[in-house]
A and B are shown apart, each in its own frame.
Chain A
Amino acid sequence: MTTTLNPKEEATAPKFDPRAAKLVSDWAHTAKLLCCRVDPTGKYVVAGAIDYTIQRWEIATGAKTALVGHDNWVRTLGFSPDGSMLFSGAYDGRLISWEIAAEMPQPKQIIQAHQGWLRGLAVSQDGQRVVTCGNDKLVKVWSAVDGQLIREMSGHPKLPYCVQFVPGTYDVVSGDVVGKIYHWKADDSGLLRNFDASEMFSNIGDIAPFGGVINLTFSPDSKRLTATGLHKCSNAPAGNRRAVALSFDWATAEKLPKQECIQKELDATMWRAVYHPSGTMIGIVEKEIGFWNPGTEDVFHLAATPSDIFDCDLHPNQLNLYTAHFDGHLRSMRLSPS
């Protein structure tokens, strides 16, 4: 959602300035949070928890409502563009749709989407389709309207972790644990091309793959595809690794310089990065929020929070970043001077 300001309003409107970032809200839940999204109208923020619930906070009041319907950790969330529908995916393999504005939202449609965990979902720009991926190594496209399965793509050799629609299309990109990113055509012609992010995969033996493409996001102009995750893993079971974002030129699939948090030694995975409309990239790195500019290797600012962050989302005002934390709190950071 964008708003056009007249020159007077423009002069007084708050400016995006990450260096001025500060926590402005802190809402507590009783269970660890794994994911969060802000609805595109800016009325609600929702978070998925390990107590199988989705928690909805009304941003204006902080009023909290539980959405109950999953039977395992709620791992991934996505809104329809008009903000009316919420889609959730969990380790129970279910994709559930919810009418988010209801007083006590109930599952509208429950789909057993995957065998094993459902790990990633995304909603198309027109709100007509939802794409998911899961432990059955499949990528599936669903009708957001009636829940019918439209397409099923197989080909990931190992677990796919994340999916996105290519902006403005029904094409899909999916990233997996061994660093493969596949671009699937919207029709049934299958795999169109792939991107090599294997440097985000740590080969620690034959039993368990480690690392990979945890999240995918497009730049605001759709010219860059950015994968986030980890690299430089020295001891996987101990968690010694560095967070990283690896971007590709979308047109050529050429790799761009990696971005990592160099100035501070952090064992971290970058669970998600989002692009600010200004082009600045915002990535969550352990308990901190890092800010990068395109083409630079290191953060220009780090903003601290009290607990490890596992997901983040920008408010449509583009000045508030919501973060889902290990301590069960959902926090909001204002990215401009007061």
Chain B
Amino acid sequence: MSLAAPSVTVFRVFEKNPMNKKQYKPCGTIDHGIGRRQFMGEFLTGMGAIAGTSLFSHPLGATEIAKHGKSVVVVYLKGGVSQFESWDPKTDLETGGPFKSIPTSVPGIHVSELLPHTAGQMHHMALIRSISTDLDDHGLANNIVRSGRTTRSATEYPELGAVVAKGLERADFPLPGHIATMVGGAGRRGRNAAYLGPRYSSVSVGAEKGGIVNTQLPDGMSVSVDSRRHDWRRFVNSRHRSKIQSAEMDAYTQCYEQALRLMEKRELFDISHEAESVQEAYGKSEFGKQMLLARRLVEQEVPFIEIQHDGWDFHHNNFEFHLHYVADFDRPFAHFLSDLNQRGLLERTLVIVMTEFGRTPKINAGYGRDHYPNAWSIALAGCGIQHGAVIGSTDAKGVEVTDRKVDHRHLFHTYLRAVGIDSSGEFDVAGRKFPIADPAYGPIKELLA
């Protein structure tokens, strides 16, 4: 796919908005970003002990990255949110559905009436309405939007979370760089870092009152006894490692140490520490709690945080379901943006509302919409992007992209560039070069701030 002539519609935000002075500082452009050498140097710092890579370190890169302290927050609407009922509403009587469009805080931009709260935050956001991808299978589509690649070989590519965790890593950072939140769920490690290694795979963290689940010492075990246990484990590991080394063993050891650091930071995950008014503002839904937890993690400068909002695959009863699901998303998400902005965090945080494909213009006999990768939308907010931008467009019925067709590969480059990672760089794993993003594609330059 070749890039069409760049075109972007940038709607002017309210001139009188008193918050504007603070909101539109560009950040994350390539000029402020991390050069390839710096990225590779930082990559080496973290990876040198893993997988026998021949990567070299570059301490200046780490310093630069630490200064930035950026975060990426992905809100993944799993199943395929309808672009008609969210970011690209249509008035066409045949395909548009029963929901109207409403104006937003950016004159000229309209979104579905189901998003009244988010509409009020549009001056922090940008929309991409011209995404066209090939795959309409959930699993395959999920893979390409997360990895920025269309995999046709045995090579597995790291997902965005792993790449960002690597790219924004700080040597002394006490938390995992790639966290997937789950309110009330148990922790587990994803397998999404491919050749970057398990250090950058997602850590799913369940939170409840008191912090992360299953992180309290057992009854009867004192801190000193626990400490002695770990000292003994480290001693045995070290002795064993002096004779035999393997990537698996190192990863295992890292997991232990990371778990201990998480236990020390368990209070971070306890949203009950927040004022009741703050919890109310986010809402007491599971999604609202996760958004509040995400804000707490952004405050800690966790590089990559993912929140999943699952179940958007409405082949049946699409409009009834969107009525409820978009409402469940809208208020917590809008408050999240507002809260980040008020705390000065939005200028260093890229927020992506991701999904794997859109829904069909055709309304089926169950008043559902089916999978549609041909013309769909996502929303972005925060740092590194032009606020109030709308990239591309679709025709009146929402069937075809009519302007600035882009796909998952352009998006992947764009996400990375927005937080200052040079997406044209390469990973060097044991002497083998892996482009960080698909080298045949590039970012949506006109979207970048």
User: Which listed residue (B100, B324, B365) contacts A207, Cβ 8 A?
Assistant: B324
Q: Which of B1-9, B15-23, B315-323, B378-386 contacts A (4 or more CB under 8 A)?
A: B315-323
* CA A236 to CA B367, docked complex, whole Å: 13
Task: Enumerate chain B residues within 8 angstroms of A205, measured Cβ to Cβ.
Answer: 311
A63 within 8 A of B: no
Min Cβ gap A185→B in Å is 30
Question: Nearest B residue to A34 by beta-carbon distance?
Answer: B367
* CA A303 to CA B286, docked complex, whole Å: 46
Do B317 and A73 touch across chains, with their CB atoms under 8 A apart? no
User: Which listed residue (B286, B315, B324, B365) contacts A308, Cβ 8 A?
Assistant: B365
Do A237 and B98 touch across chains, with their CB atoms under 8 A apart? no
Task: Enumerate chain A residues within 8 angstroms of B100, measured Cβ to Cβ.
Answer: 72
Question: Nearest A residue to B366 by beta-carbon distance?
Answer: A239
User: Which listed residue (A31, A73, A208) contacts B94, Cβ 8 A?
Assistant: A31
Min Cβ gap A142→B in Å is 23
Question: Nearest B residue to A241 by beta-carbon distance?
Answer: B316
Question: Nearest A residue to B320 by beta-carbon distance?
Answer: A208
* CA A63 to CA B98, docked complex, whole Å: 28
* CA A91 to CA B311, docked complex, whole Å: 25
Known A32-B363, A206-B285, A207-B324: A238·B316 in contact at CB below 8 Å = yes
B299 within 8 A of A: no
* CA A62 to CA B377, docked complex, whole Å: 44
* CA A117 to CA B366, docked complex, whole Å: 19
Task: Enumerate chain B residues within 8 angstroms of A31, measured Cβ to Cβ.
Answer: 93-94
Min Cβ gap A60→B in Å is 30
Known A50-B98, A51-B93: A237·B365 in contact at CB below 8 Å = no
B11 within 8 A of A: no
Do B98 and A73 touch across chains, with their CB atoms under 8 A apart? yes
A195 within 8 A of B: no
Residue-wise interface mask of A (183-210) relative to B, using a CB-CB cutoff of 8 A (1 in contact, 0 not):
0000000000000000000000111111
Do B311 and A237 touch across chains, with their CB atoms under 8 A apart? yes
Task: Enumerate chain B residues within 8 angstroms of A51, measured Cβ to Cβ.
Answer: 93
* CA A135 to CA B93, docked complex, whole Å: 22
Total count of chain A residues near the partner, CB < 8 A:
24
Instruction: Tell me which residues from 291 to 332 in chain B have a Cβ below 8 Å from any Cβ of chain A.
Output: 311, 313-317, 320-321, 323-325, 328
Which of the listed residues A207, A209, A239, A267 has the most CB atoms from chain B within 10 Å of its own CB? Answer: A207
Do B316 and A237 touch across chains, with their CB atoms under 8 A apart? yes
Task: Enumerate chain A residues within 8 angstroms of B79, measured Cβ to Cβ.
Answer: 237
Min Cβ gap B324→A in Å is 4
Do B286 and A206 touch across chains, with their CB atoms under 8 A apart? yes
Task: Enumerate chain A residues within 8 angstroms of B311, measured Cβ to Cβ.
Answer: 205, 207, 237
* CA A237 to CA B135, docked complex, whole Å: 20
Task: Enumerate chain B residues within 8 angstroms of A206, measured Cβ to Cβ.
Answer: 285-286
Do A239 and B315 touch across chains, with their CB atoms under 8 A apart? yes
Residue-wise interface mask of B (347-371) relative to A, using a CB-CB cutoff of 8 A (1 in contact, 0 not):
0000000000000000101101000
Do A208 and B324 touch across chains, with their CB atoms under 8 A apart? yes
Residue-wise interface mask of B (58-102) relative to A, using a CB-CB cutoff of 8 A (1 in contact, 0 not):
000000000000000000000100000000000001100010100
Task: Enumerate chain A residues within 8 angstroms of B368, measured Cβ to Cβ.
Answer: 237, 239
Do B94 and A210 touch across chains, with their CB atoms under 8 A apart? no
A318 within 8 A of B: no
Question: DSSP class of A's interface residues: helix, strand, loop or mixed?
Answer: loop
Known A239-B368, A307-B365, A326-B365: A208·B325 in contact at CB below 8 Å = yes
Instruction: Tell me which residues from 90 to 141 in chain A have a Cβ below 8 Å from any Cβ of chain B.
Output: 91, 117, 135
Question: Nearest A residue to B318 by beta-carbon distance?
Answer: A237
Task: Enumerate chain A residues within 8 angstroms of B325, measured Cβ to Cβ.
Answer: 207-208
A52 within 8 A of B: yes
* CA A209 to CA B286, docked complex, whole Å: 16
Known A32-B363, A73-B98, A208-B325: A237·B93 in contact at CB below 8 Å = no
Do A50 and B285 touch across chains, with their CB atoms under 8 A apart? no
* CA A199 to CA B206, docked complex, whole Å: 33
* CA A32 to CA B365, docked complex, whole Å: 10
Do B316 and A72 touch across chains, with their CB atoms under 8 A apart? no
* CA A208 to CA B365, docked complex, whole Å: 21
User: Which listed residue (B286, B315, B317) contacts A210, Cβ 8 A?
Assistant: B317
Which of the listed residues B94, B315, B365 has the most CB atoms from chain A within 10 Å of its own CB? Answer: B365
Min Cβ gap A76→B in Å is 14
Min Cβ gap B221→A in Å is 36
Known A32-B363, A207-B325, A239-B316: A91·B98 in contact at CB below 8 Å = yes
Do B316 and A236 touch across chains, with their CB atoms under 8 A apart? yes
* CA A44 to CA B232, docked complex, whole Å: 88
Task: Enumerate chain B residues within 8 angstroms of A210, measured Cβ to Cβ.
Answer: 317, 320
Do B317 and A50 touch across chains, with their CB atoms under 8 A apart? no
Do B317 and A239 touch across chains, with their CB atoms under 8 A apart? yes
* CA A171 to CA B321, docked complex, whole Å: 31
User: Which listed residue (A50, A117, A237, A326) contacts B313, Cβ 8 A?
Assistant: A237
Known A73-B98, A206-B286: A237·B324 in contact at CB below 8 Å = no
Instruction: Tell me which residues from 44 to 69 in chain A have a Cβ below 8 Å from any Cβ of chain B.
Output: 50-52
Min Cβ gap A72→B in Å is 5
Task: Enumerate chain B residues within 8 angstroms of A237, measured Cβ to Cβ.
Answer: 79, 311, 313-317, 321, 368
Task: Enumerate chain B residues within 8 angstroms of A32, measured Cβ to Cβ.
Answer: 363
Do A72 and B98 touch across chains, with their CB atoms under 8 A apart? yes
Known A50-B93, A50-B98: A207·B328 in contact at CB below 8 Å = yes
Do B93 and A52 touch across chains, with their CB atoms under 8 A apart? yes
Task: Enumerate chain A residues within 8 angstroms of B323, measured Cβ to Cβ.
Answer: 135, 208
Question: Nearest A residue to B314 by beta-carbon distance?
Answer: A237
Which of the listed residues A50, A51, A237 has the most CB atoms from chain B within 10 Å of its own CB? Answer: A237
* CA A68 to CA B41, docked complex, whole Å: 68
A-B interface, 3 closest residue pairs, ranked by CB to CB distance from nearest:
A239-B316, A208-B324, A308-B365
* Interface, chain B (partner A; CB < 8 A): 79, 93-94, 98, 100, 285-286, 311, 313-317, 320-321, 323-325, 328, 363, 365-366, 368
Could you show 27 A-B contacts with beta carbons less than 8 Å apart? A31-B93, A31-B94, A52-B93, A72-B98, A72-B100, A73-B98, A135-B323, A205-B311, A206-B285, A207-B324, A208-B320, A210-B317, A236-B316, A236-B317, A237-B311, A237-B314, A237-B315, A237-B316, A237-B317, A237-B321, A237-B368, A238-B313, A239-B317, A239-B366, A307-B365, A308-B365, A326-B365
Known: A32-B363, A51-B93. 20 other contacts (CB 8 A): A31-B93, A50-B98, A73-B98, A91-B98, A117-B98, A205-B311, A206-B286, A208-B323, A208-B324, A209-B324, A210-B317, A236-B316, A237-B314, A237-B315, A237-B317, A238-B316, A239-B315, A239-B317, A267-B366, A308-B366
